[in-house]
């Protein structure tokens, strides 16, 4: 910003709480969760969800495990009214799920909300009015504190009077001093105490006091101070459920919620992937998975995050950014070579440790806070290859996804070829492209020399003769040689034909463990007289023939 712009802004006052206790707390227990996807989330969509889309979202939220779901503002729109009626009339609300409806403290709106709720087994009526000095001045035309408190108390009285109208429904009251984040703490407390008293909250029938960071004005520690202050000051703590509802204007909605929980809150409102007004509401997926990653169960199941994201993106027409924690496309992908190397080593080490013990092995893979499999992602997607990738990345892909366990000495050479390809294309290569490039450069090469018919005969123990037909362009050559194995026999055959201008340096083979593939892979390293080193690869159902093909591939690479 320009200096003259910066002068418009003021520091935000801190909370005086020198004996704050929240910094010493750890999160060892999950809060109650409430999804506000169908209200705050939906209300902020450029194209709001249709009733059918809302039903699909509601079913998704139930599947994820939410027990409290704000289903909308039924008094504010006919669509929201009919959506709630459909949920109730079509018996779509599971026994253990409570729907929540938002309503302003106004008589006709409260009455309409109760009409919408008729027939529900239980419901939370969420009453709110704005309390901050800014809102009192601007929105309520310089209303006094008393006038604002009166709106809240009158609204509560009305809700209370309506409860008898639907006796078959158990009603819980939730009150939000909207804009709590920039309301004087003492005044928020005063309004909440008045609402609580009017409602008659008890430990058996507690009220939910939702303390929203309607706008995130300050750093998350200030939010935590506000919440701890409020929890300590409220008169009947056991008759109150303290709920958090953060927004993300400064990009710290998740941090504010986590610190708010450490400060004593019991409940969290948020949305999938942080959808919501402006920069969004709290991303509940992140807070829940952060807890899981510290060994805390949450009651929410994000093990199939990809399909949850698919429903979300389709019904809201929003997209989840590539870097969104846990759910973004690229969050389990390492591009840097050293990271790829460390991840491969971590995964290999973990596989070994898991093989050696039946006990659960604690997660510990460099750069990955959780096992991607726990959110339905696969290791295969972890490493992609671009020209910045290290040799470990290519070896990892070839091993995990194509079944080639390359000799270590071959890694740099293969790496060079594949990165060269990525460089040429000017983009990253997919796993399939890496496999294809590897095959094109190293496997079963047929020019200038092509292997035709091939026969191996056992002469005596440890003595074999190989007879091979080779093609060089139009020319065909028959060669025969003897050795203690097929490779040596072929080397001798090539020598007799004047084709041996190399030294055999290394040979190894293994079965290819990949899908239903029952091939063998062989690797041959040759050195030319002038010191050039090459590796060739052969793949064939027969391990002997794989070796022979590897030798021919290597010969071709040398010529």
- Cα–Cα distance measured from residue 551 to residue 522, given in angstroms and rounded to the nearest whole number: 9
In whole angstroms, the minimum distance from the beta carbon of 130 to ligand KIV comes to: 8
In whole angstroms, the minimum distance from the beta carbon of 191 to ligand KIV comes to: 14
183 binds, among ligand KIV, Zn ion, none (CB under 5 to 8 A by kind): none
What is the strand order of the sheet 463-472 is part of? 449-460, 463-472, 475-483
135/315 with CB nearer ligand KIV: 135
Select from 35, 169, 210, 290 the one that contacts ligand KIV (CB under 6 A): 210
In whole angstroms, the minimum distance from the beta carbon of 187 to ligand KIV comes to: 16
**Residue 173 near residue 156, CB atoms below 8 Å:** yes
For residue 383, the SS3 value is strand
Name the token pair of 370: 């959780």
In whole angstroms, the minimum distance from the beta carbon of 132 to ligand KIV comes to: 10
Residue nearest to Zn ion according to CB distances in the complex: 40
In whole angstroms, the minimum distance from the beta carbon of 19 to ligand KIV comes to: 29
Name the token pair of 40: 């705050």
Stated as kind and residue range, the H or E segment containing 523 is: strand 520-528
In whole angstroms, the minimum distance from the beta carbon of 281 to ligand KIV comes to: 7
68/492 with CB nearer Zn ion: 68
188/386 with CB nearer ligand KIV: 188
Which range of residues in 209-217, 354-362, 454-462, 464-472 is near ligand KIV by CB under 6 A? 209-217
438 binds, among Zn ion, ligand KIV, none (CB under 5 to 8 A by kind): none
> What are the b/e assignments for 185-210, b being 16+ CB within 10 Å?
bebbbbbbbbbbebbebeeeebbbbb
- Counting Cα atoms < 13 Å in the Cβ hemisphere of 115 gives 13
Q: Is 216 in the site for Zn ion (CB under 5 A)?
A: no
Distances (CA, A) of 56 to 224, 255, 305: 35, 30, 16
Closest CA to 122 of 189, 168, 79: 168
210 binds, among Zn ion, ligand KIV, none (CB under 5 to 8 A by kind): ligand KIV
Q: Taking CA 38 as the corner, what is the angle to CA 33 and CA 40, rounded to the nearest 5 degrees?
A: 85
128 binds, among Zn ion, ligand KIV, none (CB under 5 to 8 A by kind): ligand KIV
80 binds, among ligand KIV, Zn ion, none (CB under 5 to 8 A by kind): none
Question: For the chain, how many residues are written?
Answer: 559
Binding mask 245-264 for ligand KIV (x = CB under 6 A): x-x-----------------
Q: Is 40 in the site for Zn ion (CB under 5 A)?
A: yes
In whole angstroms, the minimum distance from the beta carbon of 214 to ligand KIV comes to: 3
- Cα–Cα distance measured from residue 112 to residue 156, given in angstroms and rounded to the nearest whole number: 15
For residue 371, the SS3 value is coil
Stated as kind and residue range, the H or E segment containing 207 is: strand 207-213
Q: Is 540 in the site for ligand KIV (CB under 6 A)?
A: no
**Residue 372 near residue 380, CB atoms below 8 Å:** no
The residues, ordered by sequence, that sit 6+ positions from 541 with a Cβ below 8 Å of its Cβ are 518, 519, 520
Name the token pair of 395: 């070896």
The greatest distance separating any two alpha carbons of the chain, rounded to the nearest whole angstrom, comes to 107
The residues, ordered by sequence, that sit 6+ positions from 222 with a Cβ below 8 Å of its Cβ are 12, 14, 15
Q: Is 128 in the site for ligand KIV (CB under 6 A)?
A: yes
In whole angstroms, the minimum distance from the beta carbon of 409 to Zn ion comes to: 59
Name the token pair of 311: 């429903």
In whole angstroms, the minimum distance from the beta carbon of 201 to ligand KIV comes to: 18
40/68 with CB nearer Zn ion: 40
177/392 with CB nearer ligand KIV: 177
> What are the b/e assignments for 268-285, b being 16+ CB within 10 Å?
bbbbbbbbbeeebbbbbb
Q: Is 212 in the site for ligand KIV (CB under 6 A)?
A: yes
Binding mask 262-281 for ligand KIV (x = CB under 6 A): --------------------
Q: Which residues pair with 130 in a beta bridge?
A: 178
In whole angstroms, the minimum distance from the beta carbon of 181 to ligand KIV comes to: 8
Binding mask 449-488 for ligand KIV (x = CB under 6 A): ----------------------------------------
214/509 with CB nearer ligand KIV: 214
- Cα–Cα distance measured from residue 262 to residue 28, given in angstroms and rounded to the nearest whole number: 10
Q: Which residues pair with 34 in a beta bridge?
A: 68, 269
Number of residues that bind ligand KIV (CB under 6 A): 10
127/343 with CB nearer ligand KIV: 127
Residues 8-47 that bind ligand KIV (CB under 6 A): 40
Name the token pair of 249: 């204007």
Select from 176, 257, 324, 431 the one that contacts ligand KIV (CB under 6 A): 176
**Residue 385 near residue 421, CB atoms below 8 Å:** no
257/431 with CB nearer ligand KIV: 257
In whole angstroms, the minimum distance from the beta carbon of 62 to ligand KIV comes to: 22
End-to-end CA distance of the chain: 63
Select from 75, 98, 214, 444 the one that contacts ligand KIV (CB under 6 A): 214
Radius of gyration of the chain (CA): 34
Point out which residues bind ligand KIV (CB under 6 A). 40, 102, 128, 176, 178, 210, 212, 214, 245, 247
Point out which residues bind Zn ion (CB under 5 A). 40
């Amino acid at each position: 910003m320009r200096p003259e712009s910066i002068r418009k802004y003021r520091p935000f006052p801190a909370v005086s709480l020198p004996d704050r206790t929240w910094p010493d707390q750890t999160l060892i227990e999950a809060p109650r969760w409430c999804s506000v996807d169908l209200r705050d989330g939906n209300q902020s969509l450029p194209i709001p969800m249709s009733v059918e889309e809302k039903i699909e979202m509601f079913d998704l939220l139930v599947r994820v495990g939410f027990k409290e779901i704000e289903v909308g503002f039924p008094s504010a729109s006919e669509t929201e009214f009919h959506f709630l009626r459909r949920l109730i009339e079509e018996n779509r609300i599971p026994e253990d799920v409570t729907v929540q409806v938002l309503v302003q403290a106004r008589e006709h709106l409260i009455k309409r909300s109760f009409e919408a709720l008729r027939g529900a087994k239980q419901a939370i009526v969420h009453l709110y009015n704005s309390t901050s000095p800014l809102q009192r001045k601007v929105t309520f035309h310089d209303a006094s504190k008393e006038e604002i408190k009166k709106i809240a108390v009158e609204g509560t009285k009305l809700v209370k009077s309506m409860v008898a109208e639907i006796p078959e429904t158990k009603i819980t009251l939730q009150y939000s001093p909207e804009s709590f984040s920039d309301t004087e703490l003492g005044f928020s407390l005063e309004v909440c105490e008045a609402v609580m008293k009017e409602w008659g909250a008890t430990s058996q029938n507690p009220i939910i006091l939702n303390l929203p960071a309607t706008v995130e004005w300050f750093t998350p520690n200030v939010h935590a101070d506000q919440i701890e202050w409020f929890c300590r000051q409220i008169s009947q703590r056991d008759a109150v459920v303290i709920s958090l509802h953060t927004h993300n204007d400064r990009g710290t909605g998740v941090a504010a919620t986590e610190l708010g929980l450490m400060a004593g809150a019991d409940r969290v409102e948020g949305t999938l992937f942080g959808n919501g007004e402006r920069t969004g509401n709290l991303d509940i997926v992140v807070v829940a998975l952060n807890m899981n990653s510290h060994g805390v169960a949450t009651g929410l199941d994000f093990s199939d995050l990809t399909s949850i994201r698919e429903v979300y993106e389709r019904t809201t027409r929003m997209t989840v950014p590539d870097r969104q924690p846990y759910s973004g496309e690229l969050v389990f992908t390492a591009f840097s070579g050293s990271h790829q190397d460390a991840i491969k080593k971590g995964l290999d080490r973990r596989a070994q440790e898991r093989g050696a013990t039946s006990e659960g092995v604690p997660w510990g893979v460099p750069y990955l806070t959780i096992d991607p499999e726990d959110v339905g992602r696969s290791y295969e997607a972890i490493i992609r290859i671009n020209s910045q990738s290290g040799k470990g990345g290519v070896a990892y892909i070839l091993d995990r996804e194509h079944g080639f366990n390359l000799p270590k000495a071959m890694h740099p050479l293969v790496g060079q070829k594949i990165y060269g390809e990525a460089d040429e294309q000017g983009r990253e290569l997919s796993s399939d492209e890496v496999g294809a490039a590897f095959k094109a450069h190293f496997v079963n090469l047929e020019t200038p020399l092509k292997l035709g018919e091939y026969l191996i005969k056992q002469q005596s123990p440890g003595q074999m003769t190989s007879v091979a037909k080779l093609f060089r362009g139009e020319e065909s050559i028959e060669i025969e040689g003897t050795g203690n194995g097929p490779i040596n026999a072929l080397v001798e055959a090539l020598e007799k034909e004047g084709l041996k201008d190399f030294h055999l340096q290394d040979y190894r083979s293994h079965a290819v463990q990949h899908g239903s593939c029952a091939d063998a892979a062989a690797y041959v390293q040759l050195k030319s007289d002038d010191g050039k080193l090459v590796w060739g690869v052969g793949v064939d159902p027969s391990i002997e023939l794989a070796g022979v093909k590897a030798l021919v591939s290597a010969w071709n690479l040398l010529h």
